[in-house]
Amino acid sequence: MTLSDKPHLKSRFEETASSMSPEQDSAIRILANELHRVNEAVMNCVNHGLSIELQRVKRFHSEQGYWGDMIVPIIVKQSDKQG
């Protein structure tokens, strides 16, 4: 995939964001910040010799028909390489 083939996420987000309520906009910003923290934690684990896979374990549904995926880390410790 070349750079030109990648979807323009910012413009897609901006289109969606313009139709969100202030409460929805706040909720998505909180999620984005927390996901950034998760990504930093994953990089930290990788830098300390672990392999991390985030796996969906269930889907949360609201009474209004909305849903979201719940995830957990699957952690694999590599055997230490002996010199």
User: Mean per-residue pLDDT for 66-75?
Assistant: 96
Q: What is the pLDDT of residue 81?
A: 62
Q: Assess contact for 16 and 24: CB atoms under 8 A.
A: no
| Dihedral sign (CA 16, 21, 25, 31) | negative
Q: What is the pLDDT of residue 78?
A: 72
Q: Is the pTM of this model over 0.75?
A: no
Note the pLDDT tens digit of each residue in 3-54: 556 556 566 666 666 789 999 999 999 999 999 999 999 999 999 999 999 9
Domain locations along the chain:
21-77
Q: What is the pLDDT of residue 77?
A: 76
